[in-house]
Amino acid sequence: KAGVTQTPRYLIKTRGQQVTLSCSPISGHRSVSWYQQTPGQGLQFLFEYFSETQRNKGNFPGRFSGRQFSNSRSEMNVSTLELGDSALYLCASSLVQPPNSPLHFGNGTRLTVT
């Protein structure tokens, strides 16, 4: 069974631009969670989607948004990029909502903002 697929793998953007990251969950998984990973802050929870609805949200500004499609694929968008948004963005899928089933992570999208 294919794992969680995140595209693109690497991304370089300029301050002020916007970016969209994509996540394809494991087949049959209905929940998708997004995390931001930085050396200073570690893993920070962004949001979790289940059945196309955002179920939980972390403490990030409104520039960070996401959505989930009917096939469970998810995208997250960051508008008006800032230098501090440079990070590894990890997507994780689970069969049902966590913690009732474990998170399965993709390899991440590394975003660099210049």
Partner 1 sequence: AQSVTQLGSHVSVSEGALVLLRCNYSSSVPPYLFWYVQYPNQGLQLLLKYTTGATLVKGINGFEAEFKKSETSFHLTKPSAHMSDAAEYFCAVSEGGSSASKIIFGSGTRLSIRP
Cβ nearer to partner 1, comparing 81 with 90: 90
Q: How far is the CB of 28 from partner 1 (least distance, A)?
A: 17
- CB-CB neighbours of 51 under 10 Å: 12
73 contributes a contact to partner 1 by CB under 8 A = no
17 contributes a contact to partner 1 by CB under 8 A = no
Cβ nearer to partner 1, comparing 33 with 72: 33
Among 21, 92, 111, 113, binds partner 1 (CB under 8 A): 92
- CB-CB neighbours of 19 under 10 Å: 18
Amino acid of residue 85 = D
Could you tell me the end-to-end alpha-carbon distance of the chain, in angstroms, rounded to an integer? 37
- Residue position matching structure tokens 């990030």: 60
Amino acid of residue 24 = S
Give contact residues for partner 1 (rule: CB under 8 A): 4, 31, 33, 35, 42-43, 45, 48, 50, 55-56, 58, 90, 92, 97-99, 102-108
